[in-house]
Amino acid sequence: MKFLEKYLHKMEPNFVKGGKWEKWNPLFETMATFAFTPKLVTEKGSHIRDGVDLKRTMITVVFALIPCLIFGIYNTGHWGMVAEAGSRDLPYWADMGTKFGIGLAAVLPIVVVSYAVGLGVEFLFGMLRGHSLHEGFLVSGMLIPLTMPADVPLWMVAVATVFAVVIGKEIFGGTGMNIVNVALTARAFLFFAYPTSMSGDKVWMAGTEASVDGFTGSTALGDLASFMSDKPVFENLQTFTNNYSLSDSFFGMIPGSIGETSTFACLIGAVILVATGVGSLRIIASFFAGGLLMGGILNLVGGNEYLDLPAYYHLVIGGFAFGAVFMATDPVTAAQTSMGKLWYGLFGGIVAILIRVLNPAFPEGVMLAILFMNVMAPIIDHYVVQGNIKRRLKRLKTA
């Protein structure tokens, strides 16, 4: 590694302004900063926080996502075999190697396409603008596949990634300038542009299209939403909770997006993010609190099986935990003030459950709730700051 570092420093004069390969400076800077600590660091100024650069921060988030990725690969393989057999009675922990292989074959291409297309677009913008590749897509490139259904076509992943990077980030100035979460922008684009490929009973299990006739790969939220119609999937709430037990839902042994089903894996990631100071405990805790509060209010209202579902169940099904840990805590698009983070997370959890339960068009509300709160975050911070100013002015007048 020392030899490579010395070689890069030796070659550097050729890539700086006036060098013979000046136009390739963005590519050189990208490779150099990705492999080694940047030599240009901030030494003074009011915004210095610590000695961790953006690259190290992004890598930490990727490490925190690994439990979700590994479990998502296995879970995808399991439900792929279930779809092929046409029965949900297949033991979950049987044929683990085969299931992991099937899941890897389904998930790996999505991850590769996400990174290849996203980094390609960012490299193009880097060349046009004359700056090195930003590290922000290290995280977005992993988040995008984990929020996708297992059967999503690869060309859709590519189109959504281009849309998210260009429209969601680059037109605002690149990493650190986007106003909404990049990965959720990709997910929302596909949801509204190709709804039949992003929802329903045929997209959550790899190979569902080739499964036996009469088999459906519905998710827990899809089955719950049926209680709002005249033809519910289950007779009552008891039969639903028997089919989707609390333990299965918590550990993720249910159909869903690739990386979102396991609350347990998400909480492992949360511990890593909070322990390293990358993720905000205030946002994560308040997001869960908001979801629990809204679920409790709906329990008091009652009226049908969906409204009567215990509030804590909402925290372990769908993408609630994944959104709370990895999406709502995005340091660019979330609230920045300490009190603002609490309000941001609280309202995010409330809106997520409100949309999930009361809007039959959206069985899951986490995506829309976080995107909405991304837009509201500056307003929340504004009023928190203004409130602090008013309180200090009052203390000044009475002093």
pLDDT in tens, 63-84: 999 999 999 999 999 999 988 8
Half-sphere exposure of 393 (CA within 13 A, CB side): 6
**Residue ranges per structural domain of the chain:** 2-35, 54-219, 221-253+280-399
The pLDDT of residue 394 is above 90? no
The stretch 102-121 carries a mean pLDDT of 94
Q: What confidence score (pLDDT) does residue 233 get?
A: 83
Report, as an integer, the average pLDDT of 363-369: 89
pLDDT the model gives residue 371:
95
Is the Cα dihedral 261, 341, 379, 44 positive or negative?
negative
Query: Quick one: which of 348, 327, 214 has its CA closest to 270?
Result: 327
pLDDT at 50: 46
What's the gap between Cα 61 and its chain centre?
11
pTM of the full structure: 0.86
What is the C-alpha separation between 256 and 187, in angstroms, rounded? 14
Q: Residue 46: is its pLDDT beyond 60?
A: no
CA–CA dist 40, 57 (Å, integer): 17
At 117-163, the pLDDT tens digits run 998 888 888 777 766 666 678 899 999 999 999 889 999 999 999 99
Please report the pLDDT score of residue 226 as a whole number.
83
Q: Which carries the bigger pLDDT value, residue 172 or residue 17?
A: 172
Residue 49: is its pLDDT beyond 80? no
Taking all residues of the chain, what is their mean pLDDT, rounded to a whole number?
A: 85
* Distance separating alpha carbons of residues 76 and 82, to the nearest angstrom: 10
Query: In this predicted structure, which of 13-17, 212-216, 374-378 has the lowest mean pLDDT?
Result: 212-216
- The closest alpha carbon to 83, from 266, 209, 235, 230, belongs to 209
Q: How far apart are the first and last CA of the chain?
A: 61
**Mean pLDDT for the stretch of residues 263-270:** 97
Q: Which residues of 351-386 are buried (b: 16+ CB within 10 A; e: fewer)?
A: bbbbbbbeeeebbbbbbbbbbbbbebbeebbeebee
pLDDT digits (tens, 9 = 90+) for 221-257: 888 888 877 788 888 899 999 989 999 999 999 999 9
In this prediction, residue 296 carries a pLDDT of 96
What are 277-326's pLDDT values in tens digits? 899 999 999 999 999 999 999 999 987 888 899 999 999 999 999 999 99
Question: Average pLDDT in the 4-28 region?
Answer: 64
pLDDT at 104 over 80: yes
User: Of 382, 384, 263, 246, nearest to 326 (Cα)?
Assistant: 263
Q: Which residue has the higher pLDDT, 111 or 56?
A: 111
Q: What is the pLDDT of residue 45?
A: 46
Q: Where are the alpha helices (DSSP H) in 244-324?
A: 246-251, 263-275, 281-301, 305-308, 320-322
Token pair, residue 316, equals 């372990």
Model confidence at 51, pLDDT cuts 50, 70, 90, reads very low
- Count Cβ atoms below 10 Å from residue 301 Cβ, excluding itself: 12
Other beta carbons within 10 Å of 264: 16
